[in-house]
Amino acid sequence: MIRNYKTKETGGRTSYTSSPAMIVAYYSVMSAQMSYQAAKHYDVDKKSLLPRVKNEIPIDAHPRRQSVLSPVQEQELAECLILLAEWSWGFSKEEVKDIIQEFLKDNDIQNPFTENCPGRDWFDAFLKRHREKLIT
């Protein structure tokens, strides 16, 4: 499970692949100033540099998985939950997850959830992202 995951040691290399060093290494390879030795020279992961040079992923791609809902959709969901709570019609955690499951199904949004239903980790992350609005 994600909530029990312990990060591994990176072996001294920069693990965040959108760092300024990655961008400099990318432009060094693309301008033919350096070959893939730029990864070693700028201390970035060669396996992260290669897909950027081949234009398989954007230069500034973030290493984490993208959220299932867009920030706008999450914002609207948070605002709707607040409005319904003001009307004394709050939802439990399971009801919110069921609403999200129905929304994903109705809009044919691809997601990594089991049975298209968000789990505990997604819900906890959603609350963390919108803590200031939801917990008042």
Query: DSSP per residue over the chain, as a string?
Result: -GGG--PPP-TTSB--TTSHHHHHHHHHHHTTSS-THHHHHTTB-HHHHHHHHTTSS-TT--SSPPPSS-HHHHHHHHHHHHHHHHTT----HHHHHHHHHHHHHHTT----SGGG---HHHHHHHHHHTHHHH--
- 123 has a pLDDT exceeding 60: yes
**pLDDT for res 94:** 92
Name the band, by pLDDT with cuts 50, 70 and 90, for residue 14.
very low
What mean pLDDT value characterizes the chain?
80
**pLDDT for res 8:** 65
The per-residue pLDDT for range 23-70, each reduced to its tens digit, is 888 888 888 887 778 888 888 888 878 888 887 777 766 666 677 888
Top pLDDT among 94 and 26 is at 94
Q: What percentage of the chain has pLDDT greater than the value 90?
A: 4
Q: Are 12 and 22 in contact (CB under 8 A)?
A: no
Query: What one-character DSSP code corresponds to residue 42?
Result: T
Note the pTM of the prediction, 2 decimals.
0.55
Q: Are 37 and 44 in contact (CB under 8 A)?
A: no
- 131 has a pLDDT exceeding 80: yes
